[in-house]
A and B are shown apart, each in its own frame.
Chain A
Amino acid sequence: MMTRLFSARVATLVFGVAYAIAVYVDIPLFRYYPLVQRWSLHDLATQSLGPAMSWYGWITTAALPALVLAALVPNRIGDRIPAAVYWVVPFVMFLAGWYHERTWFQ
């Protein structure tokens, strides 16, 4: 029942592409400020709030379209996505992550 309502191939593909875009362009759905335990839809960029965490926001940015499309696209269509696509998805996600973190290695 669950697998009939959820296309795993669509979920991984959309999640991977959306995550790569979200990280590369740096568009988290929200940010978390752990010092003051505050969530914000906007970048508050105030030093008194401490460091901002975009990680949860990136994941949510990617997960929302992935879950919606995986539920909407029928499995008979999702199963037509070639298996070779899933050889590329992790590399695209990794490149976006590497690009975002490159300053730590300079």
Chain B
Amino acid sequence: MIAFWTLLHGIVAIGLLGAVTHQGLTVLRRPAPAELFVNRFRAIPAVRFANSIAVLYVLTFALGAYIYPTYVLDVKGAVAEYGMRKTIGLFQLKEHLAVIGLGLLPVYWHFWRRVCLESSRPTRQFLTVSLMLIVWWNLVIGHILNNVRGLT
């Protein structure tokens, strides 16, 4: 059953990754005709993604929190026995980064949905790109650790 929850955690995380990458690259884009693929990828109405990102983030976080004890029992000890302490350290940082993202969500949503889009643009960019980097880091590190020793 834990494999199902881990898989679901990964699938929802990939959905979140797609949404937050769209939005993150859009806020970094200078207004210009979207001719190339990269520019078309970034030429989306970013504000519409804020609600979805907030919901997907909380869902991904909750699923991760649910499977975390199994990781501590089945994976962390085994990886420590392999002598891969830095790998554990990277995963531990992932857990802190996940909480940082969770903590930023209220103000991220506030700056997208309650503050005029013409003001506080740098802060909105910073919060969105921070969230994007956190999601990328967490997905990559989670994937690497799952390859080292997966939950079964």
* Chain A interface residues toward B at CB < 8 A: 3, 6, 8-9, 11-13, 15-16, 19, 23, 32, 34-35, 50-51, 53, 55-56, 58-59, 62, 66, 70, 83-84, 86-87, 89-90, 93-94, 96-98, 100-101, 104-105
Total of A-B residue pairs, C-beta within 8 Å: 98
* Chain B interface residues toward A at CB < 8 A: 65, 68-70, 72-73, 76-77, 85-86, 88-89, 92-93, 95-97, 99-100, 102-107, 109-111, 114, 120, 123, 126-127, 130
Q: A8-B114, A9-B110, A104-B88 given as contacts; is B69 within 8 A of A89 (CB)?
A: no
17 additional A-B pairs beyond A93-B103, A97-B100, A98-B96, beta carbons within 8 Å, are: A3-B114, A8-B110, A11-B107, A34-B70, A34-B73, A50-B73, A53-B69, A59-B99, A87-B126, A89-B103, A90-B100, A90-B103, A97-B99, A100-B92, A104-B88, A104-B92, A105-B89
4 closest Cβ pairs, A-B complex: A104-B89, A97-B96, A34-B69, A8-B110
- Residues of the B chain whose Cβ atoms lie less than 8 Å from the Cβ of A90: 100, 103-104, 130
Complex Cα spacing A34 to B88, Å: 18
Most B C-beta atoms less than 10 A away, residue of A12, A32, A35, A96 = A12
- Residues of the A chain whose Cβ atoms lie less than 8 Å from the Cβ of B85: 104-105
- Residues of the A chain whose Cβ atoms lie less than 8 Å from the Cβ of B102: 59
User: Binding site of B, secondary structure by majority: helix, strand, loop or mixed?
Assistant: helix
| A86 pairs with B126, CB closer than 8 A | yes
| B99 pairs with A8, CB closer than 8 A | no
- Residues of the A chain whose Cβ atoms lie less than 8 Å from the Cβ of B88: 104
Most A C-beta atoms less than 10 A away, residue of B72, B100, B102, B130 = B100
| B69 pairs with A101, CB closer than 8 A | no
Complex Cα spacing A101 to B93, Å: 7
Q: Which residue of B lies closest to A9 (CB)?
A: B107
- Residues of the A chain whose Cβ atoms lie less than 8 Å from the Cβ of B111: 83
- Residues of the A chain whose Cβ atoms lie less than 8 Å from the Cβ of B99: 19, 55, 58-59, 62, 93, 97
| B73 pairs with A101, CB closer than 8 A | no
Pick the contact of B89 from A83, A87, A101 — CB < 8 Å? A101
- Residues of the A chain whose Cβ atoms lie less than 8 Å from the Cβ of B120: 83
Pick the contact of A8 from B73, B96, B100, B106 — CB < 8 Å? B106
Complex Cα spacing A101 to B70, Å: 20
**15 interchain pairs, CB-CB under 8 A:** A8-B110, A9-B106, A11-B106, A11-B107, A12-B103, A50-B73, A51-B77, A83-B123, A89-B103, A97-B96, A100-B96, A101-B89, A104-B85, A105-B86, A105-B89
